[in-house]
Structure 1
């Protein structure tokens, strides 16, 4: 499992060198972080797709199967932003610029001192926390729907919207990825977690209940079923004066 809400930050370390991977893992765990690892680019991509996102990815450039550059591109497609500390033995300016242009947040050249790695990890996590705090202060909007996650407050058509916990989490997850089709398995992992013993029909039942509550406020049709895939929250078209 890569990321778990409500626990210590999880850092995902991706490096094909066992000695480096184990050394970084030991260093981070000694500082109190949770650590998940992968040894190939393909393994990293698979694990990122199958688990909640980590707080930070420490990513080697030269990896078997898929390069660190390709993994970095996949990370940029995650629903929530994840900082990437890219590691490489290549110190050419062009390599550093290329990694940063692909979305890496920072770049550290091998070999490096453990103290410098830790300093960069702490800095990136502080930046992420500040960005998350600013993001939480902003409402999530979709037509007549508005949600303030930090205040645990939601409105539909200007009226308070009271939701049970799982329906709240479902709506928040959909609001954070407007227009994106989220599969049932994805919703099950993000809302119920990996340890949930049920199946995807649980998602269907809760979506049905959520729609019924939104129907009362006249916006149940915002949640669309994409047959064979999952669900999508649509953004209503607001006509302009010239339309």
Structure 2
């Protein structure tokens, strides 16, 4: 079976830019949809896209404002964004990356360069294609990428805090092993920070919500602690 092509959304208020990008990206095998504004884009099923090419300067809602909304929504926070803009100041670039942009391309740009950058971002953010040298921890559709500090649940990247990530990785590295709360505190939290047992419980509760169908694997052993038991 042929692989499903990546779906890309192009959001730009310039019709020529939208048409050029759509034609060339489709030539390289991507499935492309377009929107002339952020408002139109929000009318689409955004969670179905693997990448958004987003113009910064648009009438109405700007690209920066749209990106901020995307990153605040759990269903779209994982989608990589490449900003397309005529702005080229250092402050504008920094603002874009601070909003979670994966790349930033100044107009005018070459199609060849853009295609290369699209490929790099998609490869880097695809949870199903780790690099050959990258270690992964996994159970069925739950996959941890220690080098990238990412977690994928059934193919979708889910946002984790540093503590949540380290806690899940510790448990998944030793399936079936029961860790006491104090063991987890010693392994994960800084030595100079006072951490209560209740803090571990709260983080376990958050983990269960985030890993969805695999929540039952995070088991509580009353009087002992926690384990990841398939």
What is the TM-score when the length of structure 2 is the normalising length? 0.57
1:65 equivalent to 2:57? Answer no
CA distance in 2, matches of 1:73, 1:132: 26
Aligned counterpart, 1:17: 14
State the Cα distance separating 1:92 from its structure 2 match.
Answer: 0.7
Partner deviation per Cα, 1:121-176 (whole Å, 9 max, x = no partner)? 111111122x44459x544xxxxxxx52179xxxxxxxxxxxxxxxxxxx9699x6
1:28 aligns with 2:20: no
Task: State the match for 1:106 in structure 2.
Answer: 103
Question: 5+ residue gaps in structure 1?
Answer: 1-5, 140-146, 152-170, 179-221, 224-230
1:53 alignment counterpart: 48
Question: Distance in 2 between the 1:41 and 1:150 partners?
Answer: 32
Q: Which aligned pairs between 1:6-155 and structure 2 lie closer than 5 A?
A: 7-47=4-44, 50-76=45-71, 77-79=73-75, 81-129=78-126, 131-133=127-129, 137-139=136-138, 148-149=140-141
Partners of 1:79 and 1:240 in 2: CA distance: 36
93 and 26 in structure 1: CA distance in 2 versus 1, 3 angstrom threshold: same
Aligned with 1:120: secondary structure?
helix
**Alignment check: 8 A CA contact 1:53 1:82 kept:** no
Aligned residues of 1:44 and 1:71 also touching (Cα < 8 A): no
**C-alpha distance in 2 between matches for 1:172 and 1:232:** 9
CA distance 1:43–1:237, shift in 2 (3 Å): farther
Poorly superposed stretches of 4+, deviation over 2 Å: 50-53, 77-80, 131-135, 171-174, 231-241
**SS of residue matched to 2:47:** coil
Aligned match of 1:157? none
> How many pairs align?
158
Q: Find the aligned partners of 2:31 and 2:89 in 1 and give their Cα distance.
A: 32
Checking the alignment, whether the CA contact within 8 Å between 2:86 and 2:107 is kept in structure 1 is yes
How big is the alpha-carbon RMSD for the aligned residues of Structure 1 and Structure 2?
A: 3.8
Structure 2 residue runs of 5 or longer lacking an equivalent are: 144-152, 161-207, 225-230
Distance 1:95 1:148, change over 3 A: same
On the 8 A contact 2:47/2:75 being kept in 1, the answer is no
The TM-score normalised by the length of structure 1 is 0.54
Q: Name the CA shift for 1:9/1:232 in 2 (closer, same or farther; >3 Å).
A: closer
